[in-house]
Structure 1
């Protein structure tokens, strides 16, 4: 009975669901679920925002601190003196190299102080500046005797240690180029840029038009001089005062490489007298311009460049000054012929790396300039700059691995002449003092005009050389 009543009570309190109630319940559950998800989303977003804010408020570690802005580099002003001025064929390339450096280093200003190498005043300027406390920061100048005075006075610094400390820079030089700039004390003070060769530049067309053989020996030279002189053509364009190339080639032809390179240190080589005597021999045949006593090297070069002279003794740089295509296209370069009675081979050549960049001691000791000056020195003697300068002036590049083909046949002939030479020798003015060389120069006109004997001129030069060594 009890169990039955219980069942009845259960039936009474149980309500059967109907279809509409089930749909309401489902909708409620769905709405509730959406509210839960939305609430969770808001909570997550709030958490991220809080985390972000918290992160922004957290102090940065040492490695996370922003880099401090570099202080602007100090302004540096440098003066560079060189002979890349006047009508020098590499003048624009040289300026462009300086401009490249200042473009990369806007804090650096460079005073490009130049003079022409054909102006003898540049030697006076250099000597004055180097002895008066007005040294340029970088000086492009000759090596050897010309530099000995300021080298001995400690006005420039040896580059040996600087080269060793910059292995890549040092490796960029041709070893022979560096060796060629060593001074007597064994140190390298000048970083070379381009080398050079000198020779007898010959207008082949003038020779052909006058049925003349090229002057490859002394007899052919004399025949050419006599023939051309009679026809009113200048055989050999050369000045008497600025007779650098005449002295070098005539003495090398007579004395050979050993006699030439000995200078006057151990006495007077008899073959030097033969060299001066040969100058007079050609003068008497009409070799030189009628105004040789008053013109300078530039005017002599103009005579050849304008087709008025058949021959000229010049350096590889001269071609850049000749604008007449007919002259350039018809010019070749030959060694100066050996003269009878001398010991030259007829293939001895003047050339080498006779100049370079010096770093002044005052700049090296200046903390505000030192590093910048060294970087400029490295830039100006980098393989890229050396190649551009060599292309411009036809010089031999001082950089390892840089091969320059002549920009014309004349330049190509010049490189071949130097390559086939029995000896390549520095000019005489690198082996004697400037005062001695001035005496040798002045002696040319005195000898060819018969006012002095070759032996007398050489004795005067020797006396001056000995006096300078005391």
Structure 2
């Protein structure tokens, strides 16, 4: 669905609220309100004391693992909840989002009767199968039943979370943006202009490559961010949104051809065929790479020196395409799902709802956004101590002509994996962009039958 002006303005409102000094008082959390009875200042006689609450065990699966910048903040939120609710025991089941195995784990759990009670997962095509299979429940009724909780969210955040049937199955915590992160110190040291257009980007690639510095750090297998940005820079928001079902958008081919052009100029690490996203990020963090295509969450994991020297820019428009040079990948792409099995379990439902509200409260969202530099899904929340690079990112989004969700939210996982698998053959000349995208389209059409 093409981004509307309304959606774009909604995101700008979210960013404006984030950047503006907030004079409004934060709404009180619902945490701790449930289950209290009588006058808390009056000690009840022993004979009227409530019986000990029955222990409830919950499993939460998320991608707040590995080197995720918000890992400790998320674990802290779970610990705080358990201290306030000692009868609820939580298994914190985590993996890194950089580990492709987490998708396999989620799919296996959701199809084998081993669903987590709360699942933190992608919004979009990745969730279609479990939604269509009835493995997770729509949360609209829970939101409507607690207007204070619902009204605490930024409208744009909940709108991004709506499924194609108009229902909300996932509650977001923070949003994100992606962009071209640039080490300003390296550019200044070597007298290179910032890559604000395609020619300047090519000049930067050639210069750093000749000096033995990785120009653009990125892996060929886990090429998520390369694919997203090169396609968007060539196809623009409308073309990027078309996907592959109705044919191959010519500008998608142009985007992958432009990636090959930079490859031939020496843009990528020499071991790009074997490294993963974590190693690509490490090259940038250590100052071994001048640029990286990444998301807002990556900033918190970089060395302080690199973080201080970093700014973020929209990826330059590719000549001859439909991109504007101010098209940005972003939105609210992850959130909490509640399994249907849990919702229908009288013992677990109330405890899980209480935990869901805690994890999406203003306090928790602030802690997560402060850790990962993400856009808060809650209104009136201003994260603390963000580096200049994060503020530059919000400015970039505020000036964007369009804001698009990543390609992997618009095609099936199998289709996107096929595109990824064809990146190296395209760059090395074994396949043309048309051939690589054609193979992905066949997978997409097969999955749509």
Task: Tell me the residue number matched to 1:441.
Answer: 420
Q: Following TM superposition, by how much is the alpha carbon of 1:183 offset from its aligned partner in structure 2, in angstroms?
A: 1.1
- The residue correspondences of 1:210-359 to structure 2 (distance < 5 A) are 210-323=190-303, 325-359=304-338
User: What are the Cα deviations for residues 217-272 of structure 1, in whole angstroms up to 9, with x where unaligned?
Assistant: 00000001011101100000000000000000000000000111121132211100
Counterpart of 2:368 (choices 386, 389, 412) is 389
User: What are the Cα deviations for residues 268-296 of structure 1, in whole angstroms up to 9, with x where unaligned?
Assistant: 11100000100100000000000000000
Q: Is the 8 A contact 1:394 1:406 kept in 2?
A: no
Q: Is the 8 A contact 1:90 1:392 kept in 2?
A: yes
> Scaled by the length of structure 1, what TM-score is found?
0.85
Counterpart of 2:56 (choices 47, 65, 76) is 76
Q: Following TM superposition, by how much is the alpha carbon of 1:404 offset from its aligned partner in structure 2, in angstroms?
A: 3.4
Counterpart Cα distance in 2 of 1:199 and 1:344: 14
User: What are the Cα deviations for residues 80-113 of structure 1, in whole angstroms up to 9, with x where unaligned?
Assistant: 0000001111011101111111111110100000
SS of alignment partner, residue 369 of structure 1: helix
SS of alignment partner, residue 290 of structure 2: strand
Q: Which has the higher contact order (CA 8 A, sep 6+)?
A: 2
Counterpart Cα distance in 2 of 1:165 and 1:213: 54
SS of alignment partner, residue 329 of structure 2: strand
Q: Following TM superposition, by how much is the alpha carbon of 1:79 offset from its aligned partner in structure 2, in angstroms?
A: 0.2
> Which protein is bigger by CA-based radius of gyration?
1
Counterpart of 2:73 (choices 93, 105, 117) is 93
Q: Following TM superposition, by how much is the alpha carbon of 1:65 offset from its aligned partner in structure 2, in angstroms?
A: 9.3
Task: Tell me the residue number matched to 2:386.
Answer: 407
Q: Is the 8 A contact 1:405 1:412 kept in 2?
A: no
2:96 is the alignment partner of 1:116: yes
Unaligned runs of 5+ in 2: 1-43
SS of alignment partner, residue 177 of structure 2: strand
SS of alignment partner, residue 80 of structure 1: strand
SS of alignment partner, residue 353 of structure 2: helix
Task: Tell me the residue number matched to 1:377.
Answer: 356
Q: Following TM superposition, by how much is the alpha carbon of 1:321 offset from its aligned partner in structure 2, in angstroms?
A: 1.2
Q: Following TM superposition, by how much is the alpha carbon of 1:326 offset from its aligned partner in structure 2, in angstroms?
A: 2.1
Instruction: Pick which of 255-264 and 106-115 moved more.
Output: 255-264
Q: Is the 8 A contact 2:367 2:383 kept in 1?
A: no
Counterpart Cα distance in 2 of 1:258 and 1:405: 35
Counterpart Cα distance in 2 of 1:449 and 1:431: 27
Counterpart Cα distance in 2 of 1:459 and 1:96: 46
Counterpart Cα distance in 2 of 1:406 and 1:186: 36
2:194 is the alignment partner of 1:194: no
Task: Tell me the residue number matched to 1:21.
Answer: none
Counterpart of 1:419 (choices 393, 398, 421) is 398
2:187 is the alignment partner of 1:207: yes
Counterpart Cα distance in 1 of 2:385 and 2:281: 20
Unaligned runs of 5+ in 1: 1-63
Counterpart of 1:462 (choices 429, 441, 444) is 441
**Which structure has the highest helix share of the two?**
1
> Scaled by the length of structure 2, what TM-score is found?
0.89
RMSD: 1.2
Question: In the superposition, relative to structure 1, how do residues 203 and 65 fare at CA in structure 2: closer, same or farther (>3 Å)?
Answer: closer
Q: Which runs of 4+ in 1 moved over 2 A?
A: 64-67, 403-406
Q: Is the 8 A contact 1:406 1:412 kept in 2?
A: no
